[in-house]
Amino acid sequence: MTLRAEDAYVALVHHPVYDKHHRIVSTALTNLDLHDIARSVRTYNLGGYFVVHPVAAQRQLAERVLGHWRDEGAEMNDFRRQALERVRVVATLDDAVAQISRDRKPPHLVSTAARPSEQVTRCGDLALEGRLLLVFGTGHGLADEVMARCPTRLGPIQASSDYNHLSVRSAVAIMLDRLYGDRQNGAPFEGQ
């Protein structure tokens, strides 16, 4: 079964995530995450992108940046406006699920992580019906409580080196290409 991109969404979770000492923290919003992930979501024609942050000041900052590019910034760069139109800023993952579920049943949550695990699904084996919410974490990864909410977990992005520290922006772009990229001009990815 082919996964329909317009039925898929991305959530970038800033809390609860781990820091390098495996403590639960909230990470700061970054301008690059807003812009670059929105551009990937628009490129692959997904239904939307949720920035999940519990701190009101961080959500307000995101809304200011988005407001600029949706309004006066659109005259300078309409491509950026088109991408940022798909971004929604919410306080919790539950808020994202609720927005996606307004007119249909809730999305299937799919987690991602750089940490290896025995219980993973390959991108090519992901075959779900209905809506899908791909959940990415900031910092040093999603907290176990978030991972436990996701019935499906995609395998980590791995290369032929021992370095495994891609930015979340890069990880989102790679995962979206594996799931929704054009396979007519090349063989499907056979890795993770």
pLDDT for 85 equals: 92
Quote the DSSP letter at residue 112. -
As a whole number of angstroms, the distance between CA 62 and CA 149 comes to: 26
Higher pLDDT, 48 or 162: 48
Secondary structure (3-state) at 42: helix
pLDDT tens-digit series, residues 173-187: 999 998 988 766 554
Q: What average pLDDT does the segment 23-34 reach?
A: 96
Please write the tens of the pLDDT for every residue from 116-165.
777 887 777 777 677 899 999 999 999 999 999 999 999 888 878 888 78
User: Cα–Cα distance between 131 and 51 in angstroms, integer?
Assistant: 18
How far is 66 from 14, CA to CA, in rounded Å?
18
Residue 82: pLDDT over 90: no
Q: Look up residue 182 and give its DSSP letter.
A: -
The more confidently predicted of residues 114 and 63 is 63
Determine the 3-state secondary structure of 39 from DSSP.
helix
pLDDT at 10 over 50: yes
3-state secondary structure of 175: helix
**Token output for 154:** 């995609």
Q: Are strands 152-153 and 24-25 parallel, antiparallel or unpaired?
A: unpaired
pLDDT at residue 187 in the model: 46
pTM for the full predicted model: 0.90
What domains can be seen in the chain, in order of their start residue? 5-180 (3.40.1280.10)
What pLDDT was estimated at residue 191?
42
The confidence score (pLDDT) of residue 94 equals 97
User: What is the structure's pLDDT at 183?
Assistant: 64
Distance CA 191, CA 52 (A): 29
108: closest CA among 60, 67, 151? 151
As a whole number, mean pLDDT of residues 21-35 equals 95
